[in-house]
Amino acid sequence: MNERRDSGNSGSSDIHATPSIQQPSCTSFFDEVAELRAAIQHEKQMRLKAEALPVISSDLQSEAADREAKLKNEIRKLRRRLMDVSRRHEALVNSRSWRMTAPYRSAGLMLKSLFRRNGGARYLAQNMEAGFKAKPVSEFARKAIPSGLKQALQCDVCIITNCRFPGGNASSTLDEVRTFSEAGLQVALVHCPLNGKIKPISERYATWLEHIVHIEDLSSIDCNLLIIRGPRVIMEESLKAIGPIVKSKRTAFVINNSAFRPDGALVFGWRELLDRVDSLPWENKAIHPLGPAIRHEVREEALSEAVSPHDWPPTFDAGAIPFIERGPMVMPFVIGRHGRDGHEKWLESSDELLKAYPSNPSVQVRIMGGAEKAERLLGVIPENWMVLPFGAQSVADFLQGLDAFVYFPHTGLNEAFGRTIVEAMFSGLPCILPRRFATTFGELAVYCEPSQVMGALERLASDDIKRKDFVRAVREQAFARYESASLFLRAPELPVKSEIPQPEPLNEELLRYKAWVEGV
């Protein structure tokens, strides 16, 4: 509707009159903002007059206070109306009922930014008077909103995932995009928000930002290989909606996290996920666990036959993490780990945590990624710990300063893989882990209890020759399994082929050495 209702009287200038606020009635978003801006300015003027009113008697003082309360109430109403405008604008974006242009989308985001970051209703009028001087909306935020322009994707490889988070999924996705692109293949990256929430794209995707397409902007997909990363993405209604417009020679559904949180809460249901995959009208499709830890969950659900016998582990650019042959291990031993500071990444017992990362002068502990959760548990960061923020150094530089990589997460965490562990193996570090990681990494790591970490370090330091032979053999195995080029071994439908030398398994001597370090 283009017809506008009569706006009526905007209110008397008399300080004793209660101003009447016009209900925004325009179909144009900018007209609504203009009406709100005028109403807020009016409220501001009335408040200033009320503050300037001389107090002659207690009755007048009481009357002035009453009027001030009414004005504040009107401000609250205006605030709610402004939020309604913002929500209606967002609903238009999500409903895709019409094509949103870039100026409209920018205005909506700027309005929300202005309101949320500049003191709400209190300072809204003066900020609007300054000409919408809100914090500029980043390109990462813009990419999280559908453009309204339909795109038909025709490529060799299409990857659909949630691009919001900067962690392991982003690392794996970016390595796949880089590897396929450097091989001369056409690659498309599709962002699929979770639960319809509009959250900015992670800055880790900066290099590929212009190549990201919002899932709601797709008109069709025609590719040789479609990779869908993440069980929550698979369960999204927006993915189901594109089912009829996808044409792919093969689709790989990658399950890259556990169905359960460390506290036992359900993240997704395996049977519901299988039903969703079955409902998608694509012929050649398969579900790939990220690794043995996820495959174990499938077996416990008695659903092993429903998934592919082949895992889809993360891949790594070995050139970014060079192998370094370290010198003798001497006290104080330098141990460490890197990764995000989630509560599930730390042992839940303070005693066990200090056994894994000892608080004594014979050990230096280096943490990159923050240790706020550990500090809450311990009460204070031990003096021999050095904590760096996430990204303070490159992973290669951080690992170069360690003698051993020690990682003991929450005992309830069924970690799908462990990217940081492989990075340490590539760097030439011995990895000391809980025994449950043996299902994923087999003979490539040292497994023990937290109380046994110090003994394992002392045994590693006691024989430099064997330690160097062991980490060199582990690096060769890790390279063959997880180097980026191994992607092409999983995708025979692609025109690029790759051959990776397969090293011999660790010999009996190295396996005996590993068992000795473990204290077996």
Q: Given 3-state DSSP classes, what are the helix, strand and coil percentages for the chain, each rounded to the nearest 5?
A: 45, 15, 40
Residue 312 binned pLDDT confidence (cut-offs 50, 70, 90): very high
| Sign of the C-alpha dihedral computed for residues 21, 22, 23 and 24 taken in this order | negative
Q: How far apart are alpha carbons 461 and 446 in whole angstroms?
A: 14
364-422: pLDDT as tens digits? 999 999 999 999 999 999 999 999 988 889 999 999 999 999 999 999 888 889 899 99
pLDDT of residue 383: 94
pLDDT of residue 499: 79
445 near 510, Cβ under 8 Å? no
171-215: pLDDT as tens digits? 999 999 999 999 999 999 999 999 878 889 999 999 998 889 999
Half-sphere exposure of residue 135: CA atoms within 13 angstroms, side-chain side: 10
How would you label 262-282 residue by residue, b for 16+ Cβ within 10 Å and e otherwise?
Answer: beeeeebebeebbebbeebee
pLDDT of residue 50: 58
Provide the token pair at 264. Answer: 């036992």
Q: Is the pLDDT of residue 100 over 50?
A: no
Q: What are the φ/ψ torsions at residue 446 (nearest 5 degrees)? A: -100, 130
* pTM score, whole prediction: 0.71
Q: Using alpha carbons, list the distances in angstroms from residue 368 to 78, 137, 234, 379.
A: 46, 29, 32, 19
Q: How far is CA 32 from the centre of its chain?
A: 35
43-85: pLDDT as tens digits? 666 656 655 555 445 555 566 566 666 666 666 666 666 666 6
Which runs of consecutive H residues, i.e. helices, occur in 248-381? 270-279, 292-300, 350-356, 372-378
pLDDT of residue 98: 39
DSSP annotation of 507 reads P
pLDDT of residue 112: 54
Q: Using alpha carbons, list the distances in angstroms from residue 119 to 35, 74, 88, 112, 126.
A: 20, 17, 22, 12, 11
pLDDT of residue 89: 53
105-163: pLDDT as tens digits? 555 555 554 444 444 444 445 544 454 444 455 788 888 888 888 999 999 999 999 99
Q: Using alpha carbons, list the distances in angstroms from residue 272 to 246, 275, 308.
A: 21, 5, 17
Q: How far apart are alpha carbons 115 and 132 in whole angstroms?
A: 10
Pairing label, strands 218-229, 151-161: parallel
pLDDT of residue 167: 83
| Sign of the C-alpha dihedral computed for residues 118, 122, 123 and 129 taken in this order | positive
The residues, any chain, with a CB within 8 Å of residue 94's CB and separated by 6 or more, are 146, 196
Q: How far apart are alpha carbons 173 and 160 in whole angstroms?
A: 9
pLDDT of residue 72: 65
The residues, any chain, with a CB within 8 Å of residue 116's CB and separated by 6 or more, are none
508 near 239, Cβ under 8 Å? no
236-265: pLDDT as tens digits? 999 999 999 999 999 999 999 999 888 888
Q: Using alpha carbons, list the distances in angstroms from residue 320 to 206, 369, 377, 396, 501.
A: 18, 19, 34, 7, 19
Q: How far apart are alpha carbons 326 and 312 in whole angstroms?
A: 32
Q: Using alpha carbons, list the distances in angstroms from residue 37 to 21, 51, 128, 442.
A: 11, 21, 7, 65
Task: Write the DSSP string, 198-259.
Answer: --PPPGGGGGGGGGEEEGGGEEEEEEEEEEEE-HHHHT-HHHHHTGGGEEEEEEEEEE-S-S
Q: Which H or E element spans position 287? A: strand 285-289
pLDDT of residue 14: 41
485-511: pLDDT as tens digits? 999 999 888 988 887 888 889 999 999
pLDDT of residue 195: 87
Residue 286 binned pLDDT confidence (cut-offs 50, 70, 90): very high
